[in-house]
């Protein structure tokens, strides 16, 4: 049996009637940007997250970057970022001219270690940027405690964690701002690029609305230097449909994850992902660790099981950041994870048979 890592047609097939109707509604309306669908999605997603405001933007990268910009973070400022993350997290910081200060993860949960974050605070630190990596909420209670002690903003990168919960609260509430990506492969995915910022801070939401739309509230009255970063009406209409299915789809992800955890335990030297006591995991990815990754990956591929590495290069070792001058060994945990992590197929549309095929293939390979 062939098990692709991801099947982006399956969500459409399941929701074809609803998605086709949403698309037709927008096309018949003749209204394509910043209209009723965007307004409705923003209200619905804010309510879903338990937050006061949602401002949609063009993508997850912009959600992070525009938030930092709206908070006035820039040259001379430092932002604490995970050493182990997708590079977009760091790009947001460097895009506003601030300095990313890498903090090593808690090795069990893959998320930023609050103790190490506190140790990295300097007088220039302005914000902590935790990432809910692979869909697992970071230790937000501890991180918010650190932020409070030093007067820092907490800007969460929740690109992989739509629908996750931290101590019972939906990710999206309780910090300065929370950035989401609705890239098609994410748990809540559009049919193209989209993203959003969720916040309880009305002034911050207002600044974001201003910045995303050419710095103007009324046509051609540009109050601040803005940009163009918007979610269009078609994407918003599709996101409204998919939001209604997010909890169900995340539950289906969790069922696959539970099966993997139950049936892969004791498969050789494989380290299975740990779920933190405070976390309701969104299972964007199911990431295992092994020091014999290449061999495992090849054997799975031979059995038709496609895997991906998230991510193969620690961010500080990426050529993009060569100028920052971090040598090999600067962040050993991030480097080790980059060498050992492997993502198995998971998703709401992975069949029971396919999950079984993944389990058999892994067991055969160990
Ligand atoms: C996907 C992702 C982003 C960026 O989102 P885009 O919509 O692709 O710009 C940022 N951070 C993390 C952790 C992501 O996984």
Task: Find the CATH number of the domain harbouring 75.
Answer: 3.40.640.10
User: How many Å lie between the centroid of ligand 1 and the Cα of residue 185?
Assistant: 10
The CA-based diameter of the chain, rounded to the nearest angstrom, is 65
Distance in Å, CA 59 to ligand 1 centroid: 8
Tell me, in angstroms, the distance from the centre of ligand 1 to residue 310's CA: 12
Residue 5 lies in a domain: no
The average pLDDT across 51-75 equals 98
Average pLDDT score over residue span 174-199:
98
Note the pLDDT of residue 131. 98
Band of the pLDDT at 267, cuts 50, 70, 90?
A: low
Q: How many Å lie between the centroid of ligand 1 and the Cα of residue 63?
A: 9
- 235 and 268 in a common domain: no
Q: Residue 327: is its pLDDT beyond 70?
A: yes
pTM given for the model: 0.98
Query: What distance in angstroms lies between residue 326's CA and the mean position of ligand 1's atoms?
Result: 23
The region of weakest confidence among 89-98, 258-267, 270-279 is 258-267
Q: Is residue 198 part of a domain?
A: yes
In the predicted structure, residue 265 carries a pLDDT above the cut 90: no
Closest atom of ligand 1 to 92 CA is 10
Which pLDDT band, with edges at 50, 70 and 90, does 12 fall under? very high
The reply to whether 69 and 128 lie within a common domain is yes
Residue 33 clears pLDDT 80, i.e. is over it: yes
- Which of 64, 85, 86 maximizes ligand 1 atoms within 8 Å of its Cβ, making it the mutation to test the pocket? 86
| Phi, then psi, of 136 in degrees rounded to 5 | -95, 120
pLDDT at 366: 80
Domain boundary among 211, 227, 243: 243
Q: Which of 256, 243, 264 is nearest to 285 (CA)?
A: 256
| Residues 226 and 339 placed together within one structural domain of the fold | no
Q: pLDDT tens digits for 206-255?
A: 999 999 999 999 889 999 999 999 999 999 999 999 999 999 999 999 99
pLDDT of 205 > 90? The answer is yes
- Model pLDDT for residues 111-146, shown as the tens digit of each residue: 999 999 999 999 999 999 999 999 999 999 999 999
Whether residues 156 and 170 fall in one domain? yes
Distance 186 CA to ligand 1 centre (A): 9
Closest approach atom of ligand 1 to CA 64: 10
Instruction: Give the residue, out of 56, 157, 179, with the most ligand 1 atoms within 8 A of its beta carbon, to mutate for a pocket test.
Output: 157
Residues 233 and 264 placed together within one structural domain of the fold: no
Same domain, 215 and 297: no
Ligand 1 pocket by Cβ (under 6 Å) = 59-61, 85-86, 88-89, 131, 157, 159-160, 181, 183, 193, 195
Q: Which of 68-72, 98-102, 322-326, 345-349 has the lowest mean pLDDT?
A: 322-326
pLDDT at 80 over 70: yes
Question: What pLDDT shows up at residue 313?
Answer: 97
Distance 87 CA to ligand 1 centre (A): 8
Assess if residue 299 is contained within a domain: yes
Residues 191 and 269 in one domain: no
Same domain, 32 and 117: yes
Given the CA of residue 89, which atom of ligand 1 is nearest to it?
Answer: 11
Q: Using the atom order of ligand 1, give the atom closest to the CA of residue 186.
A: 1
Q: Please tell me whether residues 215 and 336 are part of one structural domain.
A: no
pLDDT at 170 over 90: yes
- Distance, first Cα to last Cα, the chain: 19
Q: If you average pLDDT over every residue of the chain, what do you get?
A: 97
**286 and 307: one domain?**
yes
Domain boundary among 243, 270, 288: 243
Q: Closest by alpha carbon to 287, among 359, 362, 340?
A: 340
In a domain, 2, yes or no: no
Tell me which residue range forms the domain holding 306. 246-365
Q: Which atom of ligand 1 is nearest to 183's Cα? A: 7
Total domains in the fold of the chain: 2
The residue nearest atom 2 of ligand 1, judged by CA position, is: 159
């Amino acid at each position: 049996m062939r098990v692709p890592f991801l099947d982006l047609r399956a969500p459409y097939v399941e929701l074809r009637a609803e998605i086709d109707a949403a698309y037709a509604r927008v096309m018949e309306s003749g209204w394509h940007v910043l209209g009723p669908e965007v307004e409705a999605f923003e209200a619905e997603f804010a309510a879903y997250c338990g937050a006061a405001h949602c401002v949609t933007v063009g993508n997850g990268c912009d959600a992070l970057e525009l938030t930092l910009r709206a908070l006035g973070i820039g040259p001379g400022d430092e932002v604490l970022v995970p050493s182990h993350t997708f590079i977009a997290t760091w790009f947001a910081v460097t895009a506003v001219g601030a300095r990313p200060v890498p903090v090593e993860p808690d090795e069990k949960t893959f998320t930023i270690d609050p103790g190490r974050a506190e140790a990295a605070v300097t007088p220039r630190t302005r914000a902590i940027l935790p990432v809910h990596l692979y869909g697992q909420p970071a230790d937000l209670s501890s991180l918010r405690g650190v932020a409070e002690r030093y007067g820092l903003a907490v800007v969460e990168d929740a690109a992989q964690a739509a629908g996750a919960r931290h101590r019972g609260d939906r990710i999206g509430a309780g910090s300065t701002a929370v950035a989401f990506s609705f890239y098609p492969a994410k748990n809540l995915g559009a049919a193209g690029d989209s993203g959003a910022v969720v916040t309880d801070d009305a002034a911050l939401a207002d600044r974001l609305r201003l910045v995303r739309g050419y710095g103007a509230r009324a046509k051609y009255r540009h109050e601040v230097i803005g940009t163009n970063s918007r979610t269009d009406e078609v994407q918003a209409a599709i996101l409204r449909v998919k939001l209604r299915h997010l909890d169900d789809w995340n539950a289906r992800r969790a069922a696959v994850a539970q099966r993997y955890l139950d049936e892969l335990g004791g498969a050789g030297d494989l380290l299975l992902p740990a779920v933190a006591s405070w976390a309701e995991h969104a299972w964007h990815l199911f990431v295992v660790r092994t020091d014999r990754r290449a061999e495992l990956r090849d054997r799975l591929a031979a059995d038709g099981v496609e895997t991906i590495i998230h991510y193969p290069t620690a961010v500080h070792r990426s050529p993009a950041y060569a100028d920052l001058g971090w040598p090999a060994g600067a962040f050993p945990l991030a480097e080790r994870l980059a060498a050992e992590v492997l993502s198995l197929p998971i998703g709401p549309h992975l069949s029971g048979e396919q999950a079984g095929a993944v389990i058999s293939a892994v067991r055969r390979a160990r």
